[in-house]
Chains A and B, each alone.
Chain A
Amino acid sequence: MDLLVVLSFEALKAVASLALISVGLSIIFGMMRVINLAHGEFLMLGGYAAIVATKAGINIWVATLLISPIVVGVIGVVIERTIIRFLYGRPRDTMLATWGLSLLLVGLATTVFGNTTEGISAPAGSLQIGDYRIAAYSLIIIVIAVAVFAAIWAVFRFTRYGLIARSTMQNADMAAALGVNPSRVYAVTFGVGAGLAGLAGGVMAPITGIVPTIGAAYVAKAFITVIGGGPAILAGTVSASVMFGAIDQIITYLSTPVIGEVALLAAAVVLLRFMPQGITGRFFRRAA
């Protein structure tokens, strides 16, 4: 019984981390049709922002939950203005340019921080469940993921920015005719997506530690989740995270984490064979 609780808790944590590291990518792809191959590097920058801030004596919660997203969000806006905006409507070129960006950021981080793993210790202790102990930080990740998704949903559903962003996503020309400046909406949206990636990077930093090349560890999972999820941003990311997170966790429990990731990829490829539009392309078509 206790083992079951621990295992489902671990599965829930896997789902939450998957959703958290994918949501920034999902927003940028879902709203702007931009595949951001530098997503993993945004996570990496978020992690470094959290570590540098914490080492400078700032409270760890402020560092991970505020400084990481703000720093990476600002970087995102700058990148959108200098590179991405010249490439709208050319998805292939965008991918190539963001891949170049990914290499560039890895190189930059290696130059600045050196090629060593840096870390901060995870705050909060552990929880006792029967004979097992689990890290309380896992619980915090789940809470943060739920809060982030609730916040995104509320922003899209109830605020003026959400309305403008959704309308621009549906029809940029019509939105422009009604007085919206799509260029600014794109810049802000890219910044929000980057900021969420930064937040995820900051939140994951105490668990994984940070090296300049850590982005590669995240991107594969994040891309599988976003592609498997399909067009609806929130419903897609959540449904794909639940499915892939569960597969990953079950196979990992039965064998090794590496086999778990292979199963994740195989599941995604087979899924795409039968649902090329992803889960939400097939089901819940009207979801946000």
Chain B
Amino acid sequence: MSDEEMEFSDDDYDDYYGGEYDGDVDHVDPQKNDPEYFHVACLTDTEVERLLNESVEQLSNSIQVTPSLAKLLLHMYNWNQIEIVAGYRQDCHKMLTSVHIKPATPPQQMTNNQQGESEATCPVCLAPMSPDYASHLTCGHTFCKDCWSMHFEVQIKQGMSTGIECMGNSCQVLAPEDFVVPLLKRPRLKEKYQQYAFSDYVRSHPQLRFCPGPNCNIVIQAKECRAKRVTCTACKSQFCYKCGGDYHAPTDCETIRCWLTKCADDSETANYISAHTKDVNIDSFQAVGPCKTVGEYEEIAYCPKCHICIEKNGGCNHMQCFNCKHDFCWMCLGCWKTHGSEYYECSRYKENPNIAHESAHAQAREALKKYLHYYERWENHSKSLKLEEETLAKIRERIQNKVMAGTGTWIDWQYLLDAAALLARCRYTLQNTYPFAYYLESGPRKDLFEYQQAQLEAEIENLSWKIERAEMTDRGDLENQMDIVEKRRTTLLTDFLQV
């Protein structure tokens, strides 16, 4: 078979098994199928400029104003054309005054030092100015062009662009682009002005966002502002569209902000407490002896059964003692068998039912204990994500070795990389379920959430376990597990993601 034919048949294979994967399912709207679905476009600055210019042109045609004025209006009214047109038709003077394009009081010519002189004096540099070398905005404050350009230069150096005001004392009239640009002498300054103005326009536009990735110039466009995941096509960074921070479903922007602030404030306290107490994890295995050393050796634990020292070198929280083969959970050090069964309890925080009757001190301790429960799990999954990145490197190495040894082809092994990517995605969601659960009020909804969270967690650890030990023969089993995990994640998000 020639190479060409080989490629062709591969495509065929992919089409059949990949593309037609859910062939028996009716084609449904992805929005209904995937709770995380969000349609965005990644635009370059030229594309954004074209988009903005289209709006400017439309507005300037419909209300008959200069493009520069239209741009300023759009900027001040957050690019809401309908509102501008309606307001402008109703009372154009009121609208122009409200956005400081026209002065509130009718303009009056500056008359100082003008008596009897044919030439006026510029009130800033006190030098005489000929009428053709003087200019003013709608407010009538007249200054010589040299002073204007110097004023703009200083303002632009301070990062101002669309907000540059008239030089007159307590005059708030804004200088539009077509007034500023011709007065700028150096091309470098013009460039800077355009650049600052461009970011101002993007920031005021409700459908546009700068990609928060380092040195990334991409602008993300979305029809509505929702807390959904966006992946930049250029720098590949992933973030929440609404708040611009790391993606955080199922937790909402406000809650994750509270949580991160709390963690930043409390993590040192948490470190201190976990470093100075040995019984942070209250569990039946506590009686067995010191379970987990913390502090510097955070990735070391003692096997709850044979007490041998174990280092955690993978992301999976399902641990197996190499010595006695005892299976246990890294988080609670409980026996893994109880995790695998229907009722997984490790992710759930059990509140003391009599807490209302306890002393203030006990209540404070309970509150801290509750916070630490969620924080430790949040932190642990974050560490697991990092460890699983290392696992990915190991997987690549393993695939390399297998292929070189003649066990399967590159194509045969691709599923393992897909599984690792899926694992990362699911664990990331799982990590973000903890702040959500922390702030969720007790009740049936929380019970349901924690049940689903527990289910997801159990399946994720199963998947992680299987990936770390995957041989080629496991493929069917692993793909089955991938499907289960993704279904659990989707179910949780469908039920609880409300953005």
A and B associate: no
* Chain B residues proximal to chain A, CB less than 8 Å: none
* Chain A residues proximal to chain B, CB less than 8 Å: none
